Amino acid sequence: MALSEFPRLGFDPFIELRRMQSEMNRLSSGFGATTARDFPPINIWLGDNSVVVTAELPGVARDEVTISLQEDVLMLEGKREPKLQQDNVNWQRRERAYGTFSRAVQLPFRVDPEKVQARFDNGILEIELERLEADRPKKIEIRAA
């Protein structure tokens, strides 16, 4: 960093420039990681002893997505396929993505696999999971001496 003579003078007009440059490098190196989104995009909602995971899955039918749970990791897997009624078509715009997808979601606590509810409406998958009874925080009373 100390490439210029200016530090000896007590100020360095290039410090800000170098800081900006390293900031730009940092931004551009991480650019792909932030724009290439994982599919499906998810939102997580936290309640007292339960968690709700919602995912945007437009065009995916109920039987085309598999939900599985292992310890505190929720897996969403499936396949998006173009459903064409005819073969001989002239494409004008293809913006929707197709193919297999798989996404692991780390939950904030261990959940009871027996108490999982999933709903799928209008392309939004909603999974509600309850915290395992044994995993819940326990209040400890202090005995009087």
Partner 1 sequence: MAQEVRTVDQRSPTATENPARRPNRPAFVPPSDIYETKDSIVVLAEMPGVAPDGVDITLERRVLTIRGRSAANEHGGYQRVYNEYADGDYERVFTLSENIDRDRIEATLKNGVLHLVLPKAETAKARRIELKS
Could you list the residues that contact partner 1 (CB under 8 A)? 37-38, 41-48, 52, 54, 56-61, 82, 84, 86, 88-97, 108, 120-124
Structure-block tokens of residue 27: 């931004």
Place of tokens 């915290």: 131
Name which of 28 and 90 has its Cβ closer to partner 1: 90
Name which of 70 and 90 has its Cβ closer to partner 1: 90
Name which of 84 and 145 has its Cβ closer to partner 1: 84
Q: Least CB distance from residue 70 to partner 1, whole Å?
A: 19
Q: Least CB distance from residue 66 to partner 1, whole Å?
A: 16
- Distance CA(122)–CA(127), nearest Å, equals 14
From 83, 78, 132, 72, select the one nearest 103 (Cα to Cα). Answer: 78
Residue 122 Rama label (left phi>0; alpha psi -120 to 50; beta): left
- Distance CA(20)–CA(107), nearest Å, equals 37
Name which of 7 and 47 has its Cβ closer to partner 1: 47
Q: Least CB distance from residue 105 to partner 1, whole Å?
A: 9
Q: Least CB distance from residue 90 to partner 1, whole Å?
A: 4
Main-chain dihedrals φ then ψ at residue 138, nearest 5 degrees = -115, 135
